[in-house]
Amino acid sequence: MDRDRDIPVKFPRHPADTTGMIPTVGIPEALLGGGNGGQRVLVVDDEELLRAIVRERLEMAGYHVEEAASGEEALDKLGNGRYSVLLTDLSMSGMDGIRLLGEWSRRSPETAGIVMSANAELGTAVSALKMGACDYITKPFNFEVLLITIQNALRKKEIERQLLDYRINLERKVKEQTDLINSMYVRSIDALIKALEAKDFYTRGHSQRVTIYSVAIAREMGLPEEGIEMLRRAAVLHDLGKIGVREVVLNKPGRLTEEEFGEIVRHPETAMRILEPIPFFQPLLPAILHHHERFDGRGYPARLAGDRIPLPSRIMAVADTFDAMTSTRAYRKALPVYEANAEIRRCAGTQFDPEIVPLFLACQSRMVVPGDVCMPEGFDEEMLRQLRSHAV
């Protein structure tokens, strides 16, 4: 601290005081005792007399006061519990007040920091405020002013705490409402999927199985959990657009006409139109839209090829085709799993991503299909026993 003053705090002498001792200050009752609830104040200054004077006056006002002769000692005391106020000198040997404030604010941001200094320069005050100080008081100061400064700093910290609590609670409430709205959307879409499966008996459980196969491939690839969750959501919804396809087309046992096939081809875009207005589903749209693209660029709707096809779409293409081949449909019987696998392998590099195919074949022995998932009519009995056994 500055050494050119004997006592760098100006306490006005009470008119009745003739003792020559440190004077008692005429302080308004509102600033004395009662309202401070024993709040802890740490006074940091390398001048012992100053610390003693400030401590005495603050204790008269009802604060619980401790002292530290340096910034380093102050930080050590922080380990003994939290303080409501840090009242620190600016100029001290070793760690000065600015550095102390910066470190203290990092460790105990809820503490109200106040800087004392004989230097009234604006730059110094700005530096202190940047380091987290609530206020800046110049020496010599009147004790009544110091008490008001402390109360204002405490009030500022309390307002900051209330604002933080409000923001956290507001964010929580917004999240709760958002989750509620999203859950309503999901239930509505789930109802549409069930309506679709009611239209097309042969696709009952199809979306669940495609989801299981897709997630198994993703885990085999080592994708992060966030990516796997996005894939899972997209797979559940991938055929939602078929709600717009006529039932007679979905269940037609013979060859489709060009017009009928056009209805089928449009189902990814129909799903887009259903889901696009709902923000919760927007991240899933590219995967859903392109799950019928082919690796060689001959798929639909955009004729994308290779890595231009979103990775979730390339994964779903394999899972979707496998489930379609191993399910009995209106126009054909289910293929045995070994024949479906042979077809998947044959189409690697043309219809399917050649890097995904071997991963799908490799993970089949570890796939798990829970007992409540409907398996298609005609599904390979041996393969079914294997999938169900893993779920036990």
pLDDT given at position 173: 85
pLDDT exceeds 50 at position 27: no
Distance between CA atoms of residues 279 and 275, nearest Å: 8
φ, ψ at 173 (rounded to 5°)? -65, -40
Return all residues near 211 (Cβ < 8 A) that are at least 6 apart. Answer: 232, 235, 236
Return all residues near 385 (Cβ < 8 A) that are at least 6 apart. Answer: none
pLDDT given at position 346: 97
State the pLDDT confidence band at 92, using cuts at 50, 70 and 90: confident
Distance between CA atoms of residues 216 and 174, nearest Å: 34
- Alpha helix positions (H), the chain: 48-60, 71-78, 97-107, 122-130, 143-199, 206-221, 225-237, 247-250, 258-265, 267-275, 285-289, 311-325, 337-346, 356-363, 381-391
DSSP summary character for residue 255: P
Mean pLDDT on 313-322? 96
Domain 200-391 maps to which CATH number in 3.40.50.620, 1.10.3210.10, 3.40.50.720, 1.10.3720.10?
A: 1.10.3210.10
| Token pair listed for 178 | 């958002």
Q: What is the mean pLDDT of the chain?
A: 81
State the pLDDT confidence band at 20, using cuts at 50, 70 and 90: very low
Q: Is it true that 29-167 and 200-391 share their CATH fold?
A: no
pLDDT given at position 299: 96
**Angle at alpha carbon of residue 46, lines to 91 and 150, rounded to 5°:** 75
pLDDT tens digit sequence for 325-363:
988 777 788 888 889 999 999 999 999 999 999 999 999
Residues β-bridged to residue 41: 65, 85
pLDDT exceeds 50 at position 25: no
Using DSSP, state whether 341 is helix, strand or coil.
helix
Which residue has better confidence, 322 or 392? 322
| Token pair listed for 384 | 């079914």
DSSP summary character for residue 370: -
pLDDT exceeds 60 at position 34: no
Give domain limits for the chain.
29-167, 200-391
pLDDT tens digit sequence for 126-164:
776 766 676 777 777 778 888 888 888 888 888 888 888
**Contact indicator for 235, 215 with CB cutoff of 8 Å:** yes
Distance between CA atoms of residues 128 and 320, nearest Å: 63
Q: How many CB atoms lie within 10 A of CB 22?
A: 16
State the pLDDT confidence band at 259, using cuts at 50, 70 and 90: very high
pLDDT tens digit sequence for 178-224:
888 878 877 888 777 777 777 666 667 888 899 999 999 999 999 99
pLDDT given at position 61: 87
pLDDT tens digit sequence for 367-388:
877 766 666 555 656 666 656 5
pLDDT given at position 302: 95
Which CATH number applies to 29-167? Answer: 3.40.50.2300
Global pTM value:
0.57
Lowest mean pLDDT among 32-46, 149-163, 229-243: 32-46
pLDDT given at position 283: 94
Residue % of the chain over a pLDDT of 90: 30
